Amino acid sequence: MLPWSIFQRPAAGTDAEPEPSEPSGRQLSDEALVEELLTTVASARSFQEFRRSQRKECFGLLRWLQLVLPLIQEIRETAPSLTDDAYRRLALLGRAFQAARRLLRCCHDGSKIFLALESEAVLARFQAVYEMMNHALDGMPYSEIGISDEVKEQIELINAQLKRCKKRSDTQDMELSMDFMMIIQNKEDGKADRAILERLAKKLELQSLADVRAETMAIKKLINERNGQQQESTKHIIELLNKFKEIAGIDEKNILGDVSIPKYLEKCPSLMIPNDFLCPISLEIMTDPVIIASGRTYERRSIQKWLDAGQRTCPKTQQPLAHLSLAPNFALKNLILQWCEKNKLEIQMGESEPAAEQEERKEDIPSLVKDLSSVHLDVQRKAAKKIRTLSKENPENRALILENGGLPAIISLVSYPDKKIQENTVTALLNLSIDETNKVLIAKGGAIPLIIEVLKNGSVEGQENSAAALFSLSMIDENKAAIGILGGIAPLVGLLRDGTIRGKKDAATAIFNLILNHPNKFRAMEAGIVPALLKILGDKKLDMVDEALSIFLLLASHPNCRNEVGTTSFVEILVQIIKEGTPKNKECALSVLLELGLNNNSLMVHALGFGLHEHLSDIAKTGTSRAQRKANSLIQLSCKCS
Phi, psi of 327 (to 5 degrees): -105, 125
- Name the DSSP letter for residue 313: B
Q: What is the pLDDT of residue 353?
A: 45
Q: What is the pLDDT of residue 402?
A: 92
Q: What is the pLDDT of residue 175?
A: 66
Task: Let me know: does 530 contact 566? Beta carbons within 8 Å.
Answer: no
Q: What is the mean pLDDT of residues 173-177?
A: 63
Q: What is the pLDDT of residue 236?
A: 79
Question: Buried b / exposed e across 13-44, counting CB within 10 Å, b at 16+?
Answer: bbbebeebeeeeeeeeebeebbebbeebbeeb
Task: Let me know: does 498 contact 460? Beta carbons within 8 Å.
Answer: no
Task: Let me know: does 296 contact 316? Beta carbons within 8 Å.
Answer: yes
Q: What is the pLDDT of residue 4?
A: 32
pLDDT higher than 80, residue 171: no
pLDDT higher than 50, residue 125: yes
Q: What is the mean pLDDT of residues 449-477?
A: 92
Q: What is the mean pLDDT of residues 585-614?
A: 87
Q: What is the pLDDT of residue 358?
A: 54
Q: What is the pLDDT of residue 255?
A: 41
Rounded CA-CA distance 300/291 in Å is 9
- Name the DSSP letter for residue 322: S
The beta strands (E) that lie in 258-384 are given as 289-291, 297-299, 327-328
As to burial, measured by CB atoms within 10 angstroms (0-12 exposed, 13-18 middle, 19+ buried), residue 563 is exposed
Q: What is the pLDDT of residue 426?
A: 95
pLDDT bracket for residue 188 (50, 70, 90): low
Phi, psi of 203 (to 5 degrees): -65, -35
Q: What is the pLDDT of residue 329?
A: 80
Summary mean pLDDT of the chain: 80
Task: Let me know: does 391 contact 397? Beta carbons within 8 Å.
Answer: yes
Beta-sheet pairing, 289-291 with 327-328:
antiparallel
- Name the DSSP letter for residue 285: B
Those residues whose C-beta lies under 8 Å from the C-beta of residue 189, and which sit 6 or more positions away, are none
Structural domains for the chain: 30-168 (no CATH), 172-265 (no CATH), 275-343 (3.30.40.10), 363-434 (1.25.10.10), 446-565 (1.25.10.10), 566-641 (no CATH)
Q: What is the pLDDT of residue 12?
A: 34
As to burial, measured by CB atoms within 10 angstroms (0-12 exposed, 13-18 middle, 19+ buried), residue 622 is exposed
Q: What is the pLDDT of residue 638?
A: 83
Q: What is the pLDDT of residue 174?
A: 61
More confident residue, 1 or 351: 351
Rounded CA-CA distance 311/329 in Å is 21
- Give the lowest-confidence range in 24-33, 63-72, 85-94, 258-267: 258-267
Q: Tens digits of per-residue pLDDT, 269-296?
A: 445 567 678 787 776 788 888 888 788 8
Q: What is the pLDDT of residue 265?
A: 46
Provide the whole-model pTM.
0.52
Rounded CA-CA distance 60/387 in Å is 51
pLDDT bracket for residue 407 (50, 70, 90): very high
More confident residue, 358 or 84: 84
Per DSSP, the three-state class of 320 is strand
pLDDT higher than 60, residue 256: no
Please name the residue ranges forming H helices in 20-110: 30-45, 55-78, 84-109
More confident residue, 537 or 359: 537
pLDDT higher than 60, residue 354: no
pLDDT bracket for residue 116 (50, 70, 90): confident
Q: What is the pLDDT of residue 227?
A: 63
More confident residue, 407 or 17: 407
Residues 90, 94, 95, 98, Cα dihedral to 10° = 170
Residue whose C-alpha is closest to residue 71's, from 105, 48, 94, 54: 94
* Range among 35-39, 94-98, 340-344 rated most confident: 94-98
Percentage of residues of the chain with pLDDT beyond 90: 21
Task: Let me know: does 488 contact 450? Beta carbons within 8 Å.
Answer: no
Q: What is the pLDDT of residue 258?
A: 36
Q: What is the mean pLDDT of residues 359-372?
A: 79
Q: What is the pLDDT of residue 272?
A: 58
Q: What is the mean pLDDT of residues 421-437?
A: 89
pLDDT higher than 60, residue 574: yes
Task: Let me know: does 463 contact 454? Beta carbons within 8 Å.
Answer: yes
Residue-wise DSSP of 365-379:
HHHHHHHTT-S-HHH
Those residues whose C-beta lies under 8 Å from the C-beta of residue 56, and which sit 6 or more positions away, are 170
pLDDT higher than 50, residue 1: no
- Count the alpha carbons within 13 Å of 585 in the hemisphere toward its beta carbon: 15
Q: What is the pLDDT of residue 260?
A: 37
Q: What is the pLDDT of residue 166?
A: 58
pLDDT higher than 60, residue 14: no
- Determine how many CB atoms are found less than 10 A away from the CB of residue 570: 21
Q: What is the pLDDT of residue 168?
A: 55
